[in-house]
């Protein structure tokens, strides 16, 4: 086996392991949401917890967010290539102290401003829910600090080629919450749930610490914020931060308008639908971007722009080949999926209807969200942050108008559809900007492959839709849903096998040659 084949096989094994780990983590997150929905539904405690749990991460995203790894990885990768591992680890220690200091300040500010933040995020929720949300927010706000530490370790591990542990850290946080909801919720209630959330985020940081130390990371109790390396990372900080604002801003706008729909119940409905949607697309985009970004950064640091471009184009096509049929299937089967997963305890069939309406229209933005993740990582790896910053800022401003208009006309469905429109616009602008500066990522045959996958996705969704309708009259909801999903999967698999796209065609050809 030559080096190229060994490298390809190594990447393939890593992708498979990451896929399994990420799916398990996301499924456990879904179990967490199901148990939470069963315990609190869309009542006062559910609305309060939904509002309070969003605030710490929302403020974290606005002030520091995805910048923790996005600003860190290119600098660390360049130092590793040009000056060696020891110099890179010195930078990691200084950067860790910077992030720890900033997140500590955010946590203190959140504790002091909790009542004002609750009112700002959800001004129209019931008074009782708002009153409960304030102490819950104060309990959970220190998780901002744990999130900053966890993402610092994620950056170190990924740069050193350790992708598997970062892909499963949410297993530990979700596991802590699931254990609480199963065994302790009746005794300690929603306050205990807030504590479990805090403990969960602490575990995300703690489980990575031994590996980070083994790789050479060392704590340094000196505040050195003005080293050349930290300044280089800080230089990209604000543009990267603004570039990462789109989803947090959308979440704030959605919550703001949802608080006035269905007596505040829309806040939890949109929240559950959005998390379910993020779970689906996150499985694929997480694998692609977290495996892709360090490789892109290393390629850019080594001057291999053409290789980075080829890697990005292949990632886009493979990602869309999976996300498109999933989005189409969720669109046509939104209600039976939500009903099967969530209806239990205090979560009623009417809650499921409201949540399914949101999920259905969130699916419009699913492919664009995956595309945008990959394109942003391409820009970040080249330290070209102006374009994603500009497109994110424009879309943050624009998003208010479609949400306002569509929520008034269509309620939660309008909020979700507006989200899809905004994310699609952002992805389109990022693609056009990249094409104007570096040439089109996708050639004509690549575009043809994407169109082909889109048509196949529509056909598989139609097959699933009609199969569900036909089966529902003959059997119960669960087997009808499972069989209809299998029907859609078979249709898509057969079509892609008969009419394979570029990368799949190469894999099939390689398989035949090996035989």
Q: What is the mean pLDDT of residues 238-244?
A: 79
Residues 358, 416 contacting (CB under 8 angstroms): yes
438, exposed or middle or buried, with CB in 10 Å at 0-12, 13-18, 19+? middle
369 with 423: CB under 8 angstroms?
A: yes
79-128: per-residue pLDDT in tens?
998 999 999 999 999 999 999 999 999 999 999 999 999 999 999 899 99
> Mean pLDDT across the chain, nearest whole number?
86
Number of H helices, E strands in the chain: 22, 0
Instruction: Name the band, by pLDDT with cuts 50, 70 and 90, for residue 63.
Output: confident
In this prediction, residue 8 has a pLDDT band, given cuts at 50, 70 and 90, of very low
Better-predicted residue by pLDDT, 323 or 385: 323
Instruction: Specify the pLDDT at position 4.
Output: 47
Instruction: Output 435 or 279, whichever has higher pLDDT.
Output: 435
* Share above pLDDT 90 across residues of the chain, in percent, rounded to a whole number: 50
pTM exceeding the 0.95 threshold for the entire prediction: no
| pLDDT at site 9 | 53
The yes-or-no verdict on residue 404 having pLDDT over 90 is yes
Q: According to the model, what pLDDT value does residue 280 have?
A: 75
Q: Counting Cβ atoms within 10 Å, is residue 478 exposed (0-12), middle (13-18) or buried (19+)?
A: exposed
Query: How confident is the model at residue 217, as a pLDDT?
Result: 95
Q: Over the stretch 176-192, which tens digit does the pLDDT of each residue have?
A: 999 999 999 999 999 99
Q: Give the tens place of pLDDT for each residue, 431-482.
A: 999 888 766 677 788 888 889 999 999 999 999 999 999 999 888 888 999 9
Cα 495 from Cα 115, distance rounded (Å): 55
Q: What is the pLDDT of residues 36-53, one digit of tens each?
A: 988 998 889 999 999 999
Q: What is the pLDDT of residue 13?
A: 63
pLDDT at 426 over 70: yes
Name the pLDDT band for 299 (thresholds 50, 70, 90): low
**Band of pLDDT at residue 318, cut at 50, 70 and 90:** confident
Of residues 257, 269, 239, the one with CA closest to residue 400: 257
CB 136 within 8 A of CB 52: yes
Q: What is the pLDDT of residue 380?
A: 75
Lowest-pLDDT range, 135-144, 293-302, 309-318, 349-358? Answer: 293-302
State how far the Cα of 200 lies from the Cα of 36, in Å rounded to an integer: 15
- pLDDT band (50, 70, 90) for residue 332: very high
Q: Is 439 helix (H, G, I), strand (E, B) or coil?
A: coil
Query: In the structure encoding, which two tokens stand for residue 33, read together?
Result: 């949401």
Q: Which residue has the higher pLDDT, 373 or 47?
A: 47
- pLDDT for position 58: 82
pLDDT for 293 equals 61
């Amino acid at each position: 086996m030559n080096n190229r084949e060994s490298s390809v096989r190594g990447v393939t094994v890593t992708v498979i392991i990451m896929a399994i780990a990420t799916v398990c983590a996301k499924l456990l997150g879904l179990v967490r949401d199901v148990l939470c929905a069963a315990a609190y539904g869309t009542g006062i405690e559910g609305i309060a917890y939904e509002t309070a749990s969003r605030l710490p991460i929302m403020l974290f995203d606005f002030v520091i967010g995805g910048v923790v790894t996005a600003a860190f990885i290119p600098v660390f990768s360049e130092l590793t290539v040009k000056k060696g591992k020891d110099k890179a680890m010195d930078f990691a220690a200084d950067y860790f102290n910077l992030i720890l200091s900033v997140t500590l300040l955010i946590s203190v500010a959140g504790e002091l401003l909790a009542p004002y933040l609750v009112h700002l995020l959800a001004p129209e929720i019931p008074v009782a829910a708002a009153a409960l949300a304030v102490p819950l927010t104060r309990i959970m706000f220190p998780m901002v600090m744990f999130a900053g530490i966890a993402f610092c370790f994620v950056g170190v591990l990924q740069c050193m080629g350790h992708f598997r542990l970062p892909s499963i850290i949410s297993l530990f946080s979700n596991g802590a919450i699931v254990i609480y909801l199963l065994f302790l919720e009746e005794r300690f209630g929603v306050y205990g749930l807030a504590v479990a959330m805090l403990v969960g985020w602490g575990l995300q940081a703690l489980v990575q610490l031994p590996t980070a130390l083994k790789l050479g990371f060392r704590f340094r109790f000196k505040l050195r914020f003005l080293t050349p390396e930290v300044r280089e990372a800080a230089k990209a900080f604000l543009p990267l931060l603004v570039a990462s604002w789109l989803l947090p801003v959308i979440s704030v706008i959605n919550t703001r308008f949802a608080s006035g729909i269905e007596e505040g119940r829309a806040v939890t409905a949109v929240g559950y639908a959005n998390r379910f949607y993020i779970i689906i697309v996150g499985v694929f985009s997480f694998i692609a971007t977290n495996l892709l970004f360090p490789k892109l950064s290393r390629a850019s640091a080594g001057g291999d722009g053409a290789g980075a471009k080829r890697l990005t184009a292949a990632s886009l096509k493979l990602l869309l080949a999976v996300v498109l049929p999933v989005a189409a299937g969720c669109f046509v089967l939104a209600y039976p999926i939500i009903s099967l997963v969530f209806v239990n305890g205090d979560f009623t069939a009417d809650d499921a209807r409201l949540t399914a309406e949101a999920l259905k229209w969130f699916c419009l933005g699913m492919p664009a969200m995956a595309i945008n993740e990959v394109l942003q990582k391409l820009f970040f790896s080249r330290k070209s942050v102006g374009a994603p910053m500009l497109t994110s800022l424009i879309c943050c401003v624009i998003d208010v108008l479609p949400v306002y208009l569509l929520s008034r006309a269509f309620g939660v469905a309008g909020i979700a559809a507006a989200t899809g429109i905004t994310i699609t616009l952002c992805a389109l602008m990022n693609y056009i900007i990249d094409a104007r500066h570096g040439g089109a990522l996708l050639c004509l045959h690549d575009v043809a492959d994407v169109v082909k996958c889109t048509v196949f996705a529509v056909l598989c969704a139609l097959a699933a839709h009609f199969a569900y309708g036909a089966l529902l009259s003959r059997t119960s909801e669960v087997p009808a849903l499972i069989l209809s999903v299998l029907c859609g999967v078979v249709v898509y698999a057969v079509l892609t096998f008969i009419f394979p796209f570029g990368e799949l065609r190469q894999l099939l050809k390689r398989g035949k040659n090996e035989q």
